[in-house]
Amino acid sequence: MPASVADSDRIVAQFEVRYRQFLDEEGSPLAPLPDFCRDVDLMLSIYRGMHLARAFDAKCVNLQRTGRLGTFATSLGQEAIAVGVASAMRASDILVPSYREAGAQIWRGCRMEELLLYWGGDERGHAFADPAVTQDFPISITVANHALHAAGVAAAMKLKAEDRAAVCLFGDGATSKGDVYEAINVAGVWQLPLIFMIVNNQWAISTPLERQTAALTLAQKGIAGGLSVLQVDGNDVIAVRDAMMEALDAARRGAGASLIEGVTYRLNDHNTADDSSRYRNLEEVKARWRFCPLRRMRAFLESRAAWSEKRELAMQAEIASLIDSAADRYLATAPPLPDQMFAHTYARLPAGLMAQRVEALGRAHE
């Protein structure tokens, strides 16, 4: 509202932001559930996907703490967004992730040993062998640049009149950057088959949301660019998946781009080099565990008699053994040869660089 209202002022536009949630934190439905919830196998595999994401995350932290992995950005508490997003996508869609979406990447076909290899400091981890993900983007360490890459991917899909969409995830901090505004703007004006998922985990390293923006919601930033927007409970995997399916369907129908704000919480430090007790209260974090996306999904499955303690334990054991063998494969990967630095700088090695390569290889044998 302006500071004063003149008699001649007219309202020329009004906007609203809606919030979607199906399950409360105890796993009880708040509203009639989407149809896909009747597919018990799907519900179970979504639950498993979230568990896998969490266990993989814990393994990465463990490997880092024991000196066997580099700095790692954890995603504890954000599993519902990763799996809700990925489970709604088709293989032919393109994922353009940030660095906290291992759950989505694994769901789509990235191998855990590949992600470990990348975080272990080796570009080969981004080579993605599975044909289902050969066109997916690598992890983006820079914040927000990739929103524009996703717009470019979606523009290519649109120009080629393909029945596909691009999905880009970034955090609350990224919404302060110009790249995101430019991406929202072009997505709107070009009606791109593109979905932005803002993973609002309340913290950008040490900066809390209220220091990041004065906007009431992050979803409303999409309204400025003419996108369809929605805020969802990012810890309710049913809400995330439902919102994504709707947005993907709109994108494929040519109805344009969407922006979804998933409201979640980063339960761990920013990354393994961070100590969040320096800037946030442990009590705050403790209180947030009540909204844990896995806990709520388990309660929901149990209420449908689709789950038991026995099955839970069996699933955890199965996941642990998968992760352990992926970690073994990662740890058994021989370090790259110096040649790897030169191999892909250009499609063909230029003459000047060839001399430097010889120098590097010579040094390796000294």
Partner 1 sequence: MSELTLVQAVNLALRRALEDDPSVVVFGQDVGRHGGVFRATEGLQQHFGSRRVLDTPLAETMIGGLAIGMAAQGLKPVCEIQFLGFLYPVLDNLANHAARMRTRTQGRIACPMVLRVTHGGGVHAPEHHSESIESMIAHIPGLRVVIPSSPRKAYGLLLAAIRDPDPVVFLEPTRLYRLLKENVEDSGQSWPLDRCDVLKEGSDLTLVSWGAMLTEVMEAAGVLAERGISAEIVDLITLKPYDAETILRSVQKTGRCVIVHEAARTAGFGAEIAATLAEHAMTALLAPVERVTGYDVVMPLPRLEREYMPSVARILKACRRALAWK
- Selected binder of partner 1 within 28, 71, 142, 206 (CB under 8 A): 142
From the CB of 350, what's the least distance to partner 1, in Å?
3
Contacting partner 1 within 341-360 (CB under 8 A): 341, 343-348, 350-353
254 belongs to the binding site for partner 1 (CB under 8 A): no
The interface region with partner 1, picked from 14-22, 23-31, 129-137, 288-296 by CB under 8 A, is 129-137
Nearer to partner 1, 113 or 179 (CB): 179
152 belongs to the binding site for partner 1 (CB under 8 A): yes
Q: Inter-axis angle of helices 112-119 and 309-331, to 10 degrees?
A: 50
- Which token pair is 280? 């946030």
Please report where in the chains the tokens 């209202």 appear, as a residue.
5
Nearer to partner 1, 153 or 227 (CB): 153
Distance CA 65, CA 71 (A): 9
Beta pairing partners, 230 = 260
CB atoms within 10 A of CB 202: 18
Confirm if 91 and 108 have CB atoms less than 8 A apart: yes
The interface region with partner 1, picked from 39-47, 155-163, 206-214, 322-330 by CB under 8 A, is 155-163
- Selected binder of partner 1 within 22, 99, 107, 137 (CB under 8 A): 137
Nearer to partner 1, 127 or 205 (CB): 127
195 belongs to the binding site for partner 1 (CB under 8 A): no
Contacting partner 1 within 165-184 (CB under 8 A): 166, 178-179, 182-183
- DSSP, res 257: -
- Selected binder of partner 1 within 185, 191, 220, 303 (CB under 8 A): 185
**Segment (H or E) for 20:** strand 19-20
From the CB of 178, what's the least distance to partner 1, in Å?
6
- DSSP, res 174: G
Nearer to partner 1, 185 or 220 (CB): 185
335 belongs to the binding site for partner 1 (CB under 8 A): no
334 belongs to the binding site for partner 1 (CB under 8 A): no
- Selected binder of partner 1 within 53, 151, 229, 244 (CB under 8 A): 151
From the CB of 148, what's the least distance to partner 1, in Å?
2
Distance CA 299, CA 293 (A): 10
Provide the edge-to-edge strand list for the sheet that holds 94-96.
19-20, 228-233, 258-263, 194-200, 166-171, 94-96
128 belongs to the binding site for partner 1 (CB under 8 A): yes
From the CB of 117, what's the least distance to partner 1, in Å?
10
- Selected binder of partner 1 within 18, 38, 65, 124 (CB under 8 A): 124
From the CB of 293, what's the least distance to partner 1, in Å?
30
Angstrom CA distances, 364 to 122, 223, 336, 339, stand at: 17, 55, 12, 10
From the CB of 138, what's the least distance to partner 1, in Å?
5
- Selected binder of partner 1 within 154, 243, 251, 260 (CB under 8 A): 154
Site residues for partner 1 per CB under 8 A: 94, 96, 123-124, 126-128, 134-135, 137-138, 142, 145-157, 159-160, 166, 178-179, 182-183, 185-186, 189, 340-341, 343-348, 350-353
